[in-house]
Amino acid sequence: MNEVIWDGKDEAGHDMSNGIYLIRIESKDVNVIRKVMKIR
């Protein structure tokens, strides 16, 4: 895995508020949780 891009929107397409989020990335070979910060 080289890059993951998040557009800052939820599953319904609405903009998420600024804050700290935990993201989970799952694939056949990878299962990780990372903390990300949305500031705009």
- Stated pTM of the model: 0.64
Please check whether residue 23 is in contact with residue 34, taking contact to mean a CB–CB distance below 8 angstroms. Answer: yes
**pLDDT for the residue 27:** 86
Span 7-23, pLDDT tens digits: 999 999 999 999 999 99
CA dist 37 and 32 (Å) reads 16
Residue 16's H or E segment, with its range, is none
**pLDDT for the residue 15:** 95
Residue 2 clears pLDDT 80, i.e. is over it: no
Domain that holds residue 27: 1-40
Number of domains in the chain: 1
**CA torsion through residues 38, 5, 29, 26, sign:** positive
**pLDDT for the residue 19:** 96
